[in-house]
Structure 1
């Protein structure tokens, strides 16, 4: 079954292991994108997870990353692969992440609507109460 989400070819906002130079970038994105550019997701905080980060919507925060536009021929397969990587299944109560459409800011100040994988509600609650927040909002600067 094709869902409305599958028909809407939004770019992806990546902020962790899918960024250039990180372990999943070449595995999933190399040769499958038309464009990769810096971006910022406003209204979110970044938390450290076991080997990967989680973005959690929080007023006043900013998460740095890349806005990735998949090539047309790669889009459907890439969307499915990223959903598996992020352990996201639409409607599942066991998701670690939720894929949501949110505005992402480009360096020139314009915004693009993009898929962002946010911490699922139960994960976000645990992170807010006992997680380690990455103060810079940038996974590459986590120290």
Structure 2
């Protein structure tokens, strides 16, 4: 496994969150732990039926999601399935790009996730909007102001 495929947890913020249609299809049965989490310095945008994360230095901007730790024996299959789902290409030209980023685990409860963060930063894989999607969203933002896909 290359350094770009280190077995990190995944920060998920849309249809891959527990209860989402893509969680059921790609992560159910593969998870060792699921914890509420927050990605600071990014904005959540509405796509046609799914969300995009775009880096955003606006103070207070963040995305609410979950930090998913995949069972070691299921990791390679989960990584391949998620990269395929997100159309993540090795050359960085896909619909999404996978990037190692620091996320913070959050206290349990919807209000706590939005207001108070309990855990120290932890590295995770995050799927960000790929170059074409990011350019489109920067030109015509479709911001979800709360940073929570469940609020759309």
TM-score (norm 2): 0.88
What is the CA distance between 1:138 and its match in structure 2? Answer: 0.3
Matches within 5 A, 1:17-36: 17-36=15-34
* TM superposition shift of 1:92: 4.5
In structure 2, how many angstroms separate the alpha carbons of the residues matched to 1:4 and 1:109?
25
Q: Relative to 1, partners in 2 of residues 1:113 and 1:92: Cα closer, same or farther, differing over 3 Å?
A: closer
Partner of 2:36: 38
Q: How does 1:2-81 map to 2 (within 5 A)?
A: 2-6=1-5, 8-59=6-57, 60=59, 61-81=61-81
Q: Whole-Å Cα distance in 2 between the matches of residues 103 and 25 of structure 1?
A: 22
Correspondence 1:118-133 to 2 at 5 A: 118-133=128-143
Given the superposition, is the C-alpha separation of residues 55 and 87 from structure 1 closer, same or farther in structure 2, using an over 3 Å criterion? same
SS of alignment partner, residue 133 of structure 1: coil
State which drifts further: 49-58 or 104-113. 104-113
Deviation digits for residues 62-83 of structure 1, max 9, x if unmatched? 0000000000000001000000
Q: CA RMSD in A?
A: 1.1
**Match for residue 87 of structure 2?**
87
What secondary structure, in the 3-state scheme, does the structure 1 residue paired with 2:119 have?
coil
Structure 2: state its 5+ residue gaps: 107-117
| Structure 1 alignment gaps of length 5 or more | none
Q: 1:20 deviation in Å?
A: 1.3
- For 2:125 and 2:7, the matched residues in 1 are separated by 9
Q: With structure 1 as the length reference, what TM-score do the two structures score? A: 0.93
Secondary structure of the structure 1 residue equivalent to 2:145 = coil
Structure (1/2) with the larger strand percentage: 1
